[in-house]
Structure 1
């Protein structure tokens, strides 16, 4: 007990792997948990690329948080983005849809994930969306399938080729998997469905500033993955740095100089950074951050000087046994979430706490195409169909919910055994809504201001608005 009549209050920020597994590990602990998340769903981020390429639906990889935790009675789920943390008063400030509120805590777990990094070129985002959210994947789905539709309307060969050129920046697992799936679309799924274009003429270009595909998998698997991509028709351009992105193309620099690639559809899969909350948390506690914005934490993942605050997963900078910072992968988040929960339970039971977090590397997986993947598990290196079977088993195991596992298997059968894609619906709103909302502003704030202004006008506090200054909501077509 921390206060008379109150149980220990644990606030968890983020419903990703770290936050969710910490909460589940506390299901029988004598604590009251408040989960704060910016969306109402838990996102299985490793499968976002399959959502973007029409294999899986959003519901299969993003189950509702309340449904996932419905049997855990010590959890209160709240929607909102944590904007600030007062580590002295032990209070977090939250911005929800049209409402601001605060939540007090005795222990705080911060696992807000990571955001896309454009390495200081945030203007690239309008023309090359990342792959970090459901909104990102829906936008990319609309852009990818829409590109084939628009190309079919044109007669100019250069215009057609511009629409049929897909550039993916970043040759890590996300970029590699996405490139392979777009190649499968162009060469296996879509041929024969268009009267005026041949989808097989599409160019899929994978660009990276480093010199290897899947460089963390080792030379053998990396080289094999590149060969498989090239066999699928993907153009792999390594040691190639992106220096400019606009609506109709991308500028790159390689050892031969500067070049332009004409392309309407670009995807950014290179680089991640901690969210702004990490910097605010570090400043509040006097902690340090690295170049990616991750917070340097103690060995038990707690915030320096504040053992009641745990920073997990992609937000923490903690050296592993090899002395290098732990990678921003799902297993680090899952294991650090469980470790933080164990520390809380030990403290509440009066046991010694502060044990260092020890990460057990269960390996890395990435798919290249149907029935082909690479796997690095300890000293074991697998490629091709055996690695693909391991990939299927691991991803099914970590998918939340029995129904999601069943429907994922069915949709994989449609896509990998057959030639269809179960989720090809794409709308204009999905393609353009992000830019429209950014121009329009926060709709909840606009509604609040409009309501306040109307109330004041009714009471004679402000003059009536004239047609000249009235502004209609921005159309998604603008």
Structure 2
């Protein structure tokens, strides 16, 4: 039944949003404010501010600093229902979703915003050795393995083994890889340097591997060079043209060279959520679903896709990047247009992305920012980066907490999220089950739909 017919028959169309990320949450807030009946489904109970997730992975922040319960964010909108669950497939013919626990959700209008997953370029076997960075669990895995590597290095008298354990390879020279490498270098050279006796964390090797000819391909060559120079000043070994060939338990092979490692982190590639492949429409090589200028999935009535799942093109036919600002603008625009369309019958206007610049942090008081011909770098860009990210955080308490922790870390070089609890006989760094990070409670399986 088309959404307009549902509105005429029942008084309200059933709008279902899949995903509580930047795009899905923005759409839910706008539709909730408009008074429409909305159900939001997410497999996590929290909204995660992913741009700062690398700081959780490097012990600068705890997960609670950058995550907020979805129910809390949407509590003022009594017409918005939140369901904890994972969508297994979409049946566009029956206009329904099936969750992994068997629950079936009917819809009249469907907004898909499930985000993205890691892509290992056909080498999924690397996932166990090189965690990516998309979720709190990923960040905890990276942090645990990194901190444990230094702990195990302290326990051995073998210099070669010490060096292996204190060698961390970051695969991928995009913004995530650059930010991770810089933060890991600061962690070892400043925060941990005074705390060990048997080993010297300042001698840790942080290697950044990029298959392309330069870092940060989405930025200008000038900014790319600046980022590489700043990382090298921090002690990061920047290797471009270095395609990874193999990753094992204790090594990474690239350009014919095998380097013994204690930790490998994957920041090289992403793929759209596999949910898009259940729609029965053709997707691109990364799994993105083609959408028209109104963000509607081509060939499926009343189904829309936004964020990382959508292949949305600009006026020149280039696909929009997978950025938080793109998803937020799409969610706000789509929800505003849907509300007018369903309430008043107004035609939906096409989406036009308004870029607000690209930014990346490359170490202590150093960052880059670009918007068109306007470019800044260094301390001023770092300050702008900090203000922007604090402003975009959800919740005043998070803005305050993060600001105070950044100020304390800037003055003292200390990082407060370094605590680990693990059973006796903890596994070697990079292997086996992960220890529990002490700043976050243990997660228990929960299949209950609330």
TM-score calculated relative to the size of structure 1: 0.87
Q: Distance in 2 between matches of 1:366 and 1:39?
A: 27
User: Does the 8 A contact of 1:27 with 1:74 survive in 2?
Assistant: yes
Partner of 1:263: 261
User: Does the 8 A contact of 1:56 with 1:408 survive in 2?
Assistant: yes
Partner of 2:68: 63
**1:88 partnered with 2:86:** no
State the shift of 1:100 in Å.
2.1
Partner of 2:315: 321
State the shift of 1:32 in Å.
0.9
User: Does the 8 A contact of 2:163 with 2:204 survive in 1?
Assistant: yes
Q: Tell me the number of residue pairs that the alignment of Structure 1 and Structure 2 aligns.
A: 431
State the shift of 1:6 in Å.
4.7
- Structure 1 residues 263 and 435: alpha-carbon distance in aligned structure 2, compared to 1, 3 A threshold: closer
- Structure 1 residues 435 and 296: alpha-carbon distance in aligned structure 2, compared to 1, 3 A threshold: farther
Please point out which of 292, 303, 306 is paired with 2:297: 303
User: Does the 8 A contact of 2:341 with 2:348 survive in 1?
Assistant: no
State the shift of 1:159 in Å.
0.3
Map 1:239-258 → 2, pairs under 5 A: 239-253=241-255, 258=256
Partner of 2:135: 133
Q: Distance in 1 between matches of 2:190 and 2:55?
A: 16
User: Does the 8 A contact of 2:171 with 2:209 survive in 1?
Assistant: yes
Please point out which of 331, 334, 342 is paired with 1:348: 342
Deviations 1:365-412 (CA, angstroms, capped at 9, x unpaired)? 111112111101232111101101110111011100000000001111
- Structure 1 residues 275 and 422: alpha-carbon distance in aligned structure 2, compared to 1, 3 A threshold: same
Deviations 1:203-233 (CA, angstroms, capped at 9, x unpaired)? 0000010011112110111000000000000
TM-score calculated relative to the size of structure 2: 0.92
User: Does the 8 A contact of 1:37 with 1:78 survive in 2?
Assistant: yes
State the shift of 1:417 in Å.
2.0
Extract unaligned runs of 5+ from structure 1.
438-442, 449-478
Partner of 2:148: 146
SS in 1 for 2:344: coil
SS in 2 for 1:392: helix
State the shift of 1:188 in Å.
1.1
Q: Distance in 2 between matches of 1:321 and 1:389?
A: 32
Partner of 1:272: 270
State the shift of 1:434 in Å.
11
State the shift of 1:49 in Å.
0.5
SS in 1 for 2:102: strand
Please point out which of 197, 200, 206 is paired with 2:208: 206
Partner of 1:120: 122
Map 1:41-440 → 2, pairs under 5 A: 41-95=46-100, 99-253=101-255, 258-281=256-279, 283=280, 287-428=281-422
Between structure 1 and structure 2, the one with the greater Rg is 1
Extract unaligned runs of 5+ from structure 2.
1-5, 435-443
SS in 1 for 2:14: strand
State the shift of 1:264 in Å.
1.7
Q: Distance in 2 between matches of 1:4 and 1:293?
A: 36
State the shift of 1:299 in Å.
1.3
Q: Which runs of 4+ in 1 moved over 2 A?
A: 1-6, 349-355, 426-437
SS in 2 for 1:195: coil
* Higher mean displacement: 353-362 or 383-392: 353-362
Partner of 1:7: 12
- Structure 1 residues 105 and 124: alpha-carbon distance in aligned structure 2, compared to 1, 3 A threshold: same
SS in 2 for 1:374: strand
State the shift of 1:191 in Å.
1.1
Map 1:12-27 → 2, pairs under 5 A: 12-27=17-32
State the shift of 1:27 in Å.
2.3
State the shift of 1:3 in Å.
6.1
Q: Distance in 2 between matches of 1:169 and 1:266?
A: 7
Q: Distance in 2 between matches of 1:434 and 1:321?
A: 47
State the shift of 1:334 in Å.
0.4
* Higher mean displacement: 1-10 or 49-58: 1-10
